[in-house]
Amino acid sequence: MTAGTAEHLIEARRRDLFGHPRGLVVLAGTEFWDRVSFHGMQALLTLYMVGQLFTPGHIERIAGFRVFRAAVEAVFGHLTLLGLATQVFGLYVGLAMFTPVFGGLIGDLWLGRKRMVILGALLMTAGHFCMAFDQSFLVAMLLIILGTGALRGNLLPQVGELYRPEDGRRDTAFQLYYAMVNLGAFVAPVVTGALAQTFSWHIGFAFAGFGMLAGLVVYLGGQGAVVAAAPKPVRAARAPLTVADWRRVAALLALVPVAALFWIAQSQVWNTYNLWVRDHVQLQVGRFLVPVPWFQAIDGLSPFICLPPMLMFWRWQAVRGKEPGEFVKAAIGCFIFAAATLWLAAAGIAADGAGRTPILWAVVFHLASNLGWLYFTPTMVALFTRAAPVSVVATLVGLNMLSTTVGSFASGRLGGLYESLTPAQFWSLHAAIVATGGVIFLAIGWRFAGAYGLKAPATARP
């Protein structure tokens, strides 16, 4: 390390806020508004399609929809309107998680991360405003998908750039970052759900668009606190990946289908779960009818509540040298999520004469499932940013998101089973899928991590 670099690091530490670079606050704040935008859309989409857009008088007005439906059914087979809605949702979320692979690549090689984040925010804003009209529904989906890829493929890697690879604060930083993710996921359904129920679906979608504009303002206003990305690279100056680098890339790629088993179940919580709440949960509280999207708000708030005790528990384990490695944490997350999904399968035992389960049953599910989410999701992101070769870290962060794509595609198709299976059968199937992922992570973890150097240090440093 040169004297200049050492002085820069010392000065950067002086500017830290609560033990972390101030740039983390800017990036997490930007992500908060991104999630207000994204989760506002996500909380309404399946309900909107089933309740209005795919009904007579609306579905005929969607530009290009007949061709689109024919293309979807050519791949997935004939779909009822409910099955089509869940599949469209699965495609939307899946593609939104796939495009960061290309967004990160473009940011790495050509445009730079700052430009891509700005472009992504503008595209997402335009997409949300297009949701105001039936005719532009497919255009809106395309704009939001492309914008999400540009923004997410380049915002998250900037968090990793705030820390040196050996810095023990990295894992905690991603936990704090994801706390803002889930705070945004809490705020968005509360506001958009209330707006949609009180006024219209389109007003709810418009709020999501303004949220994305707010995120762009936060990002641009805080650039001075964010560690600048490297200048646009010159291709000839880029060192090629070594054999060891390619082995790491191959190892991370092999984790994608395993991680997808978790995301099949998690994606269903964003998708068909809304219909299950509509059909099987007691929503009347006195004279007030609880909006269905508010359950997505509980899903966003739950990990935010669980994070502090979780961090304390992991620190307690780390001090004693007993904190598990990334593969064990991922497996624990899968098993907890499977248990929570079985809780949904058993909801019928608490149902009243009308087949309605108390709201508290759903609240318990969200708390338990998000405990599993906290074990699984930030751990996988930390693993990918730690193990990826430096020159393609943004691309491989996008590769991690590819597991969500695979899981979302599968969950969209499985969502069609909601009409033919009982709730107990439907949720038991998903519990079995995510539990299988946990078994595989345990089975391959020790050998896999040791062979490719992917296991995190057992002890975090302050």
CA 224 to chain centre: 27
Q: Which two tokens stand for residue 359?
A: 């709201």
State the Cα–Cα distance between residues 144 and 124, nearest whole angstrom.
4
The tens digit of pLDDT for each residue in 403-459 reads: 988 999 999 999 999 999 999 999 999 999 999 999 999 888 766 666 555 554 333
β-sheet bridge partners, residue 17: 20
Closest listed residue to residue 29, CA positions, set 135, 193, 158, 169: 158
- Positions of the chain with pLDDT under 50: 1-14, 228-236, 456-462
Q: Where are the domains of the chain?
A: 17-225+243-452
Closest CA to 23 of 315, 225, 244: 225
Task: Give the list of residues 6+ apart from residue 368 with CB closer than 8 angstroms, or none.
Answer: 336, 339, 340, 343
Read off the pTM: 0.80
**163-210: per-residue pLDDT in tens?**
776 676 776 787 778 778 778 888 889 998 899 888 888 888 888 888
- pLDDT computed for residue 230 by the predictor: 37
pLDDT at residue 168, as a whole number: 66
Torsion sign (Cα): 399, 405, 407, 410: negative
- For 440, phi then psi, to 5°, come to -65, -40
Rounded Cα–Cα distance for residues 76 and 87 (Å):
9
Place of tokens 């590769």: 399
- Within 346-458, where are the H helices? 359-387, 393-415, 423-452
CATH class of 17-225+243-452: mainly alpha
Check residue 221 and give its pLDDT.
83
Distance CA 266, CA 245 (A): 31
